[in-house]
A and B are shown apart, each in its own frame.
Chain A
């Protein structure tokens, strides 16, 4: 949908009045746009568009309410700003700053809003998932899609933007509808053999649709584009099932992460399991390299330091240096035993990502939240294990190269590549906590989102030197 030369991120302050404690929560939402110089930031009610390289403000728009969700259109000409509370969506044009578009869903409410792949239609999901309204920016045509399902991932667009798969539920049965995004023509509509459909995802080549069941039943159904059931895969019964799913970029592999802490890889020819990756608590007998983050505590000086020095020392105390050490096998990975009495227990493989060259798969097992596992897809074996000092919040592969960036909520950025891994201190004042990491589509820069701050990190081509920019 985007190969973004520019960025957009927004930050809003949400004062929730209903709770007794008045909490200020700030949040960022980041979307990558098409090749265009600008970068958009939202600050509360305002939408700020900046140039990515100079961070100079290009446009400034004001919305009617606090922006919850913001999205660039696929051709980077428009920005959608959604305000769920008011049920409003406002669209701004970058070519014509005085162009406006406002969609008010009225009493029917709004829970989610997104662009269609052609960048000219907006899909609004009403409250209670009553229906999906397709608004067009080109014509007066409005389409309604009934009975959308409220689940983990109910809508997915194919990568080429031609087709949309929508999960539906009517009469206590699950269905999938395939629409042609061109004119929203219903191409196929079929019932799925799921108990409670949890999500749909197109393969990157757009020919296969993966449909998976809720965690109460381990079941993945693979449908061809024309609605034929190609295969069903179920690893086991009764125990909690699928937690996450990821296609490899070449569509050759489908990785299924489940609550039993394993990732099962299916191949696209027979749809049978090729291998399964386990995340054991003690690692031995493997060719993998285990990197462990080790913090170097700064030496606190003696009492006769002046106050000024103490203050500067204080900020460095927050920012303890750390480096990676290679641990010899066998290694014991810290495991947090989850509370199994609660629903959606913190166990199982919750996030997986393939690198863009298909060679690597990064996974995270929730009961070993400090560890990221990197698997070699050629060898189908474990390649590296990164053990961090705190829980990994987010990891993402460079869109161009086999380089993984991750963050753990402290003021550091961690990078892994087959050559090794490095821990980079973010040179920010105070407690800058990196909550999430997003790559620019060229792979030349990274954006680090914190609670109230944002940091742009540029990668030097050749050497990995970073320059950081703070944007408040």
Chain B
């Protein structure tokens, strides 16, 4: 488990608390506010710079809001910019004060300098304070009609910002229609591009509740508009070109002539210096020709050179993204790149992630004609100083061996690896030889001769050890020493930490026993005894099962444990072809890099931030995480102990960092790092609340929470409430009690990790559903439930560490018991040292 995200690296300890400095700044700003002395702008500039640098390092300077606004009456552009930046950052938390800024921003929107008009309008729209939207409409409307394209460009994006604050206001002002007009008539291409992206977003969002909006959205894909944009595409900025190309990729041409026209028009985009434009163009080409097999093949030929250049000329990060896409293409057309394999040779200086993808490419393009060269190259990496790449190279050789029919030369190479006497090389090779033997049993003699010479003492990695033991069991009739090696392993049962190895040892001894029973009897006895006493459930069960099976009937046992096997013809592909097609449809998107269709990762990500109301702010649900983890763990376990299943091999085949639900580390990190965290309150709570929370937070605390306090009011320690219901309730219920409490200095100190407080409240049967904010403002949402009833209490608790105050808002189903609950809540807080 990772340590909580608030590690020593967080900048807070090195920073001044800022209190003294901030009040200094405040008085200095006051002095300057009314001054008209010469040079006052310079002193202001220094002060503003200081304020913003504090803001940047995370000190709260929101208390200076009033003074900053007072000082903002200036003609100096830099001062204005700094002021806009400041205002934009704090307006959302100080809506009342933001009203003060409206005046000067509106004035600046009418400045004669277009730069200032634009900047002011941008800042005005970036305030994002819902109560101020009425002040936005006027400046936006005149901004859209401004004579200067810079202002219009800003205004168009401003409309989108307005839409996100208040869609109704935006629609009422009829802005979309104005944008549509601008999009079709404006001279400036950046204005057109901004209109396009804004309209796309607005119509897509509106489409679900308005038929007209969905028609408008579809109209964006109409032939006249697409042609209008395509004909001017060279005038657009490179990023706007990406936007247009993305739109074109969704367009369905009416006939093949149209397809060729579009491709001719866009062909030179493949030569663009910006890789994003090139990839977007390639997507258009691939999408347009999907149904035309011949042309589709020609497209592959055409896009090959630009892609290879992108790989070899860009920064490593760019190479990575391009290689991800190349890999996708290669899987669909392996022949295409089979003569260009040298482009995927790894260079010594390249970062790991590029080398790894290149190895996958080499594996994918290998065929009869180039296997020799590729394997020779891979073998050179195996002897390289870079150990992770050496491992990956050996795996790559193994994969090639498994996909080729002529494995003759490769087997020799693999066996040479075993003679290199490097423990990691030996380990990787053993795993591969095992897989190879499962597919090509005819090679057993050659392999066994070499494998037999390996001392099991030199093999430490569980996977490799398991592979060696499997071979010892499977080919015990051919290996002279097999029973004795297995026996010495069985004797050292307690030293073997990996359950996977112990499971394999049991099975191997059984197989050996059937073939050479006199020599193995003793070892098997030791292993079964140790296995039955093993603390690991699976090992215990398997040992017991074997034991009973042997007692029942030895020949039946042999038929169960060691039946005649058929060679594996094809190892299972972890990805279905349906999913691959889906990823291909999402060419030029993140799903290619994650090797997952985007619905598999973006959906659940989205639910949090976009559905929740402003009141709870920017939330993200973690609800699926634990379930996913359990599933992943299960799968891992199945894979690691299955020895006959065909799916074992590709378990570590993927080079990509898929969204990280498979590791417990990210799990703990997730719950501490996200902006606002919903603690898992569903299923887990019912099972064992404290443990679930422990696990999620990764605090490693094992103390059981104190029992809930006795009457007058007792709370249900296992209360359950899902975030959605919480929100609904929070909206419906009136505030039954609101109070402000002073917070003690110890309380402030303890809040460096809000989790501690959450744990503590949990111990008092008050559950946290969401937390957020950052120093000095922490926000918590708690809930609790009466022990015998369904009636619930909801609490919003805002703790400001700089003013040492806590504000509580309590809402309750049962208003009468609010007072009792608040006493409980306060006493819980004070037990924590808060009050």
Are A and B subunits of one complex? no
Give residues in A with beta carbon < 8 Å to B.
none
Give residues in B with beta carbon < 8 Å to A.
none
